[in-house]
Amino acid sequence: MGALGESVVLVEVERGVAVVTLNRPQALNAMTLEMSLAYSEALLAADADPEVRAIVVTGAGRGFCAGADLGILEQGGDAIRKFLPPAKDMPRLALALSKPVVAAINGHAVGIGFAYALGSDVRFAASTAKLATAFSRLGLVAEYGLSYQLPRLIGVSAAMDLLLSGRTIDAAEALSLGLVNRVVEPEELLPAAIAYAADMAENCAPSSLAAIKHQVYGHLDLAEPEALTETLGLMDASFGGADLAEALLARNEKRKPVFTPPPARP
């Protein structure tokens, strides 16, 4: 899978990592229907590509995603109705993929852009990044599942603060709240995110990455006994798996393991 050209979403693959870039820099990557569909297509293609083992998402230029294109809201009616069906599930699509998704938040992540940033497994932010839910300041509600997701990520009180006030926070506060995992200087952001993803791509078993994502997200709403029962079944399967045998052999032979590649999917 190579570059998609100068479209609203760009894709490049290096070191087993697909870098997916929102590409409307002149509009701070404000989300349109075309971009929403292209982003979904790019993520699903990366998840199906056996050469890809991890995914990094970022924005071109100064913004990650400044929210929905205001032209859609200003048009109202049919324009909003056409935008909502594909957009409503997009922010959480990355969580349903079998491969880890790392967000490199290079600038403003507002509204749906905030939701897209949270719709990743791990988040790196530039020290200059700004984040805001912003919905209450537009007469809107907590959109894109954030009323469900945000309290589970940072707690009810902190989620209420960000959702009710719609205020803008900087990267340092986002780190203190647990919204992002790391803050780095802007010029170091994408290299750091790619290096982190490439380390997983090169050293972690794709089967383990997929199983762990399923466990963490799937167990959030399970009772502990149910989660433990499923975990014990997965553990039993992994103990007899080819990847553990390969990891142990590689350790004895002092080399990197060659894990079973992720399956190709149509």
Tell me the CB-side half-sphere exposure of residue 61, using CA atoms within 13 A: 16
pLDDT at 225 over 50: yes
**196 and 183 within one domain:** yes
Q: What is the pLDDT of residues 92-129, one digit of tens each?
A: 787 889 999 999 999 999 999 999 999 999 999 999 99
What domain count does the chain have?
Answer: 2
CA 10 – CA 161 distance, rounded (Å): 34
What domain range includes position 212? 205-253
pLDDT at 86 over 70: no
Q: Where are the beta strands (DSSP E) in the chain?
A: 9-14, 17-22, 54-59, 63-65, 101-105, 108-110, 122-126, 130-132, 169-170, 182-184
Sheet containing 130-132, strands listed edge to edge, beginning at the edge strand earlier in sequence: 63-65, 108-110, 130-132, 169-170
- Prediction pTM value: 0.92
CA 60 – CA 100 distance, rounded (Å): 21
What DSSP designation does 77 have? H
The pLDDT score that the predictor gives to residue 197 is 99
**Of the residues 164, 181, 202, the one at which a domain ends:** 202
**240 and 156 within one domain:** no
Span of 74-88, 173-187, 226-240 with lowest mean pLDDT:
74-88
Dihedral angle computed from the Cα positions of residues 118, 120, 125 and 128, in that order, rounded to the nearest 10 degrees? -40
**165 and 144 within one domain:** yes
1 is a domain residue: no
Q: Name 65's bridge partners.
A: 109
